[in-house]
């Protein structure tokens, strides 16, 4: 599904910063992976590269058979739209659009007709239990509801992978647990989910934990029984 080979990334500047120093990683379809590391370990950079939001200097990145290298802005936008569902720490909903419009937006950029995309958006909102909130603006929703709207938006294009950047970072422990439960269910349905986090409580709910340190993979830990780890306890 996702193949990284000796990936390097340096931020140019007054003092060039070599952030990623050779990442080699394979993620198979249907995996539930977390990338963990302290701040400055390069995990966000890695997530940006995985999400085709940033480019890399050296190495190889193949996403679902497609080499991701030197893409035009439009091509990158298309790939992001069709292959990747993003979930962000601070939700990143568009404040003046209601939940339904926010969820439907990726389909708008695909050129899907208004009627069809609104119907699909409503379907996804219903699945996440937000049907009656469909016409509310983001600031009328709670944090957990906002994140669920964001998840609906990430899912609506039927992406190949879900990339979540600290998805519980702005939520309390109870709603965090809900969101993690949701992601776990998605994975159970066969979706490949990658979570970037610095919280071990979140990481240990996934099946595979990639520890990142100073731009290299320190270790890859198989977590065979994620449900054995009581989420709420570890959050503290």
Q: Which spans of this chain sit near another protein (rule: CB under 8 A)?
A: 44, 48, 51, 53-54, 73-74, 77-78, 80-82, 86, 88, 90, 92-97, 105-106, 108-110, 114, 153, 157
Residues 6+ apart with CB under 8 A from 154: 85, 86, 87, 162
User: Minimum CB separation from another protein for residue 111, in Å?
Assistant: 10
**Closest CB to another protein among residues 50, 193:** 50
User: Minimum CB separation from another protein for residue 100, in Å?
Assistant: 13
**Closest CB to another protein among residues 44, 192:** 44
**Closest CB to another protein among residues 134, 177:** 134
Q: Return the closest-CA partner of residue 33 out of 42, 43, 19.
A: 43
Work out whether the CA dihedral 83, 213, 44, 72 comes out positive or negative: negative
Beta 161-165 vs 192-197: how paired, if at all?
Answer: parallel
User: Minimum CB separation from another protein for residue 216, in Å?
Assistant: 22
**Closest CB to another protein among residues 90, 181:** 90
Q: Return the closest-CA partner of residue 216 out of 19, 1, 10, 67.
A: 19
User: Minimum CB separation from another protein for residue 81, in Å?
Assistant: 3
Q: CA-CA distance, 217 to 36, in Å (whole number)?
A: 10
């Amino acid at each position: 599904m996702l193949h990284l080979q000796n990936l390097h990334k340096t931020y140019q500047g007054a003092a060039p910063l070599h952030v990623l120093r050779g990442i080699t990683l394979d993620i198979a379809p249907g995996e539930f992976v977390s990338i963990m590391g302290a701040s400055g370990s390069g995990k966000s950079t890695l997530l940006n590269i995985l999400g085709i939001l940033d480019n890399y200097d050296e190495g190889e990145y193949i996403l679902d058979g497609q080499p991701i290298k030197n893409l035009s802005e439009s091509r990158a936008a298309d790939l992001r739209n069709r292959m990747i569902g993003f979930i962000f720490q601070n939700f990143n909903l568009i404040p003046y659009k209601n939940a339904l419009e926010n969820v439907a937006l990726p389909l708008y950029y695909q050129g899907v007709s208004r009627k069809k995309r609104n119907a699909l958006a409503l379907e996804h909102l219903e699945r996440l239990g937000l049907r009656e909130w469909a016409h509310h603006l983001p600031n009328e929703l709670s944090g957990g509801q906002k994140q669920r709207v964001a998840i609906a938006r990430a899912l609506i294009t039927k992406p190949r992978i879900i990339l979540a950047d600290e998805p519980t970072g702005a939520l309390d422990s109870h709603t965090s647990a809900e969101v993690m439960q949701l992601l776990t269910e998605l994975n159970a349905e066969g979706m490949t989910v990658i979570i970037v986090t610095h919280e071990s409580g979140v990481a240990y709910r996934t099946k595979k934990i990639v520890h990142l340190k100073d731009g290299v993979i320190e270790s890859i830990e198989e977590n065979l029984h994620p449900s054995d780890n009581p989420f709420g306890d570890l959050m503290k």
